[in-house]
Structure 1
């Protein structure tokens, strides 16, 4: 009986050890890795960090004064708030890692917050909530941006006029290709859009030269203005087509690659970096 109890304790200890996030052990962050609909993973945020992701996406609804996380209204559950799933864990990481999310790395992490309902009201509540986390956040005040460990970018039903009119903000605006070339990175540091609305190529066969040139021009224009680029609705089924499209995104220097497959993108980016190092 004693041996069984001891065995149970040892097993429990092993479970505790394996539950320690790999990110706490020093996984290298991946600058381009974006976890689309991150909250649908078994361990929101934590699974992404364990795979080295530096950008995660959370959909939120304003319900009875709380910011609940979920893709659709029927997915919402009490306690699954933006604070509980994202802001509090990030704050703990920043505290434990001397001001940054990843140990021994000053790589910023982006929290893309997709507002799903009541745009202005939800943003107003988000703005109020973020005030308690300002020490770790990138902030805007009177025309100046102060970089922090975590940058919150608001997507979805985002109230541009409300955000643009704020003297002080703890969040930024997710732009679209229609915003490209207009500058204003202190409000719009990110340009995101639906890949299928602007490109016909899905990774099958060679990328048309005209579309390759268009992609690179988009990225060059955004980078000139201090903005980052992300596309959603890119192929996300493992295989040659996805790898081909991801390779073109990397070659064009697109800043964030969208995926639900954390391990798949981590493996791709690690292998791609290894190939580049060998070529050099």
Structure 2
């Protein structure tokens, strides 16, 4: 269930009026200057988004509607980076993602983009699952950012401008036991237990997996028909259960192989195309009107 724009406006107004939340919005915190319309690209997912020059903001300026942030719990802080040696004290989840998203949503009156669209923050937990999630939950429930997030409560999903989905080290049992939460679970495809009818999209709205565990086709030549049928079957099963689909480790070097693979993913209805090349995917999706 999604709050009406009027109801959400009341939430946003309350958040903006809070002494904890400065209503000032800088251009740097928003990405694209106010007034410039960016066309959201529903299939565009920024893999390892934090490795770009301007984490989150480069993706927003290109129209991406899903970004991935790896987090490590270090002395009570949630630091963003792929490996422990990449971490620096100033690169926190709050600084790179939560605060810029708050400012952006306030500026756009309840949406990440001026054109209202769903936005996913895929949070890949790199350190121990339960302790890291406990620290993350405190941030998601913090009044400064809580209004941003889709939440589960009273057996229903209440849509917010941003949906936080946990990947990596995911504390499934903790999430399943919570009567209220602002985080969801990224399921896996290979073992089949998270996919399709019987899975609960209120817990697992997304299923993801390593492309090379399921398919051998790298984009060169014709996709084997058996693999095409498997791809379409996976997507159909997920969609029948209200789930979205993503693959990682897909070929991502610019060239005809990548383009051919993206075309097959779009034709099958895959919801999130995974890339490190923001402009390359944006150009493809714009040219093909996806």
Taking structure 1 as the reference length, the TM-score comes to: 0.89
**Residue 120 (str. 1) matches residue 130 (str. 2):** yes
1:180 pairs with one of 195, 198, 215: 195
1:189 pairs with one of 202, 205, 211: 205
Q: 1:18 to 1:149 in 2, by over 3 A?
A: closer
Q: Which runs of 5+ in 2 are unaligned?
A: 1-25
In structure 2, distance between residues paired with 1:168 and 1:20: 30
Q: Which runs of 5+ in 1 are unaligned?
A: 1-15
Deviation at 1:89, TM superposition (A): 0.3
Residue 80 (structure 2) aligns with: 69
Map Cα deviations across residues 168-214 of structure 1 (whole Å, 9 max, x no partner).
Answer: 10010000012112320000000000000000101010001111111
1:259 pairs with one of 264, 271, 275: 275
In structure 2, distance between residues paired with 1:17 and 1:156: 32
1:96 pairs with one of 90, 107, 131: 107
CA contact (8 A) 2:185 2:206 kept: yes
CA contact (8 A) 1:23 1:102 kept: no
**Residue 144 (str. 1) matches residue 156 (str. 2):** yes
In structure 1, distance between residues paired with 2:92 and 2:28: 26
- CA-based RMSD: 1.6
Structure number having the greater helix percentage: 1
**Residue 154 (str. 1) matches residue 186 (str. 2):** no
**Residue 49 (str. 1) matches residue 60 (str. 2):** yes
CA contact (8 A) 1:23 1:52 kept: no
Q: Secondary structure at the match of 1:62?
A: strand
Taking structure 2 as the reference length, the TM-score comes to: 0.86
Larger RCO (CA under 8 A, 6+ residues apart)? 2
Q: 1:134 to 1:248 in 2, by over 3 A?
A: same
In structure 2, distance between residues paired with 1:21 and 1:89: 9
CA contact (8 A) 2:30 2:57 kept: no
CA contact (8 A) 2:29 2:103 kept: no
Deviation at 1:85, TM superposition (A): 0.2
Map Cα deviations across residues 24-44 of structure 1 (whole Å, 9 max, x no partner).
Answer: 411100000000000000000
Deviation at 1:100, TM superposition (A): 0.2
2:264 pairs with one of 223, 248, 251: 248
In structure 2, distance between residues paired with 1:175 and 1:23: 36
1:80 pairs with one of 80, 87, 91: 91
Q: Secondary structure at the match of 2:245?
A: strand
Q: Secondary structure at the match of 1:99?
A: coil
Residue 5 (structure 1) aligns with: none
Q: 1:20 to 1:222 in 2, by over 3 A?
A: closer
CA contact (8 A) 1:23 1:50 kept: no
In structure 1, distance between residues paired with 2:67 and 2:81: 14
In structure 2, distance between residues paired with 1:258 and 1:17: 27
Q: Secondary structure at the match of 1:34?
A: strand
2:229 pairs with one of 213, 232, 251: 213
Larger radius of gyration: 1
Map Cα deviations across residues 118-170 of structure 1 (whole Å, 9 max, x no partner).
Answer: 11100111011100222111000131100010000000000100111011100
Q: After TM superposition, what 4+ stretches of structure 1 lie above 4 angstroms from structure 2?
A: 16-20
In structure 2, distance between residues paired with 1:53 and 1:19: 16
